[in-house]
Amino acid sequence: MNFNVLPNLIAFAILVVVLRTLLFRAILLRDTVGGSYLWLTGWFLVLVHFVVKFVDVGQGLWHREASAVSLDMLELASVTFLVSLSPLATNRRRVLLLAAAIGIPTIVYTNAVVWGVSAHSFYYGVIAVAVLGALSLVWNLYRARTAYVVGLSIGCLGLACAMVAAVALANPDLGIILLLAGVNFIAAALYWRRYRRATAAALTTVFGFVAWGVASPAPPAGSLLAPFAFSVRLESQVWEIPKYLVFAGMILTLLSQQIEQLSAAVEADVPALIAQGEGDNLEFKSSFRWDLRENKLNRALESVVLKTLAGYMNLDGGNLLIGVADDGSVVGLEHDYKTLKKRDRDGFQQALMTAVATNLGGDVCYTVQVVFRLLEDREVCRVIVSPAHRPVYLKDGDTPRFYLRMGVVTRELNVQEAVNYISVRWPK
């Protein structure tokens, strides 16, 4: 057992549990990245990396196997973070394509180094497949020669050339260092490109990714810090600080988004919205799942709410007030609460967000912000919806249905109408 790794192992285990708990409570699902589930996956891979390092005995065949798995997990974590920040990752298919295009060659190259493959032609082949696959994917998905696409292509080619040089110099180990550095540097650039604000959260995350790239995978000698290996004398735990910076920056980013959304909610309060009446971006619903006419639970009513949310997501966003009748009278949420295991605001929010994740997609939950307000001694739920980053379909059994907000109604588009609208709204 490598007990030097134990503090980091315990720390990241706690962080992953905390992140998973927040995700379950649908707090992180509302971030504007739309890929918090990928962030959770990435940190879980980092945790596995430390678990393998902890059980590594440092000698024999098991040591080599542990080294391979440990490096694989670290590289896959970095790839996962990069994919989560890529503008191309707009749906699950693209996420898988990007992850495969980057992750598979990375793992193949790393394992070849660990297991002592000496044929230079093998490494050249892996590098060629990786760079051609990545460039082909980028150009096919973007289909435009923008400065961003050209810069990304140049970066991929530069990394490939550096790795070829490392192999030519009979030092393929350097290729692993360059891979991890390159992936983390690109992740830093994508993070900054997404936010473009010099906030503490963004700067912390960007700096963390850069430092992570510089110090990976085995600082100081086994990293870009190798030229300074004899002058740098720090405890091994210090080199893990960049990972904590990235984690802290991500959490700060998500929390800052929550604060901004809540501030916006305060500016336009529920009484003012009720007085305004239903319109293009405002709709009232008496309940979420309670049939007031039949005086019983009716889960089919959830679909009515979800249609409205989908229609808002596919256009410019909007507001939905649950617990308010069409005439503006306050009905409240008491009947809906009775249908829940946890009969309060938290239980209602969890039920609503679960329905959104299940029927519209977990990656679009970030567009939904829930705020509660007490009016006339009755609770009302305001659902603030932002536009989605992709087309949103409502699952109707095995049939996906596309809804769009049109004036004061939410209308289902037929196949041709949906195709035409999507091609204009979300051009490739």
Tokens of 157: 């080619």
pLDDT reported for residue 428:
65
pLDDT one digit per residue (tens) for the chain, 428 residues: 777 788 888 988 998 888 777 665 544 444 444 567 788 899 999 999 999 988 876 677 788 888 899 999 999 999 999 998 888 777 788 888 889 999 999 999 999 998 989 999 999 999 999 999 888 888 887 777 778 788 888 988 999 999 999 999 999 998 999 999 999 999 999 898 887 778 888 899 999 999 999 887 765 556 676 665 555 555 566 778 899 999 999 888 877 776 766 666 555 578 888 888 899 999 999 999 999 989 999 989 999 999 999 999 999 899 999 999 999 999 999 999 999 998 899 999 999 999 999 999 988 888 898 988 888 889 999 999 999 889 999 988 888 999 999 988 999 999 999 999 998 888 76
Q: What is the pLDDT of residue 248?
A: 92
Chain length of the chain: 428
Count of C-beta atoms within a 10 Å radius of residue 267: 7
At residue 35, the 3 state secondary structure works out as coil
Q: Tell me, what's the pLDDT at 33?
A: 41
CA Rg, the chain, in Å? Answer: 25
Strand partners, 380: 373
Q: What is the pLDDT of residue 267?
A: 53
Phi, psi dihedral angles at 339 (to 5 degrees): -90, 0
Backbone angles phi, psi at 321, to 5 degrees: -105, 115
Q: Is 398 exposed, middle or buried (0-12, 13-18, 19+ CB in 10 A)?
A: exposed
Residue among 171, 233, 243, 149 nearest 205 (CA): 243
Encode pLDDT of 228-272 as tens digits. 555 555 556 677 889 999 999 988 887 777 676 666 655 557 888
* Whole-number pLDDT of residue 142: 75
Distance of alpha carbon 389 from the chain centroid: 12
Distance of CA 347 to the CA centre of its chain: 24
Cα dist from 207 to 15, 197, 242, whole Å:
20, 14, 8
Structure tokens belonging to residue 3 = 């007990």
pLDDT of residue 35: 66
Q: Which domains does the chain show, CATH number per domain?
A: 3-260 (no CATH), 269-425 (3.30.950.30)
Q: Tell how far CA 320 is from the center of its chain.
A: 25
Q: What integer pLDDT is reported at residue 331 of this predicted model?
A: 93
272-307 CB burial, b ≥16 within 10 A, e <16: ebbeeebeebbbbbbbbbbeeeeeeebeebbbebbb
